[in-house]
Amino acid sequence: MTDEPSYFLDEQAAFEKVEALRWPDGPVCVHCGAYLQAGRVTGRGARAGLWFCRACKRQFRVTIGTIFEDSHLPLNKWLLACQLVGLEGMRGTKLREHLQIASHAAVRMRRAIRAVLGSEPASSLDEILRRAFEVWV
């Protein structure tokens, strides 16, 4: 059994982690700003982390407006990359090997994470994620 947190291993758990940080009081539609008017899209074939706003009738995910938006990589790999790059200073080649992703994807991830961090070091994964919301929104 592994001692890694579940949000590093499971994409749905990763979405729940990011949602809890970005929306501590409940979901907010990223399109119209409606508060607590969204429901989780469930069922066969539903993507992880997908929400539907009853106010504007649009779908959204917590990743919109962050460094995770428009990425084809699972969110759990992004969270692990934030941990490895932001807290442990892992280089691109090691990141590629550890996450088992393409070199260009590892370089993109590392650049985005370093851009979020700037010159200020982070003390936790939660801090890195909060900075990602502030910088990219």
- Residues 43-93 pLDDT 10s: 888 888 899 999 999 999 999 988 998 889 999 999 999 999 988 888 888
The pTM of the full predicted model, rounded to 2 decimals, is 0.87
Report the b/e string of 25-61 with b at 16+ CB within 10 A. eebbbbeeeeeebbeebeeeeeebbebbbeeeeeebb
Domain extent listing, the chain: 6-60, 75-136
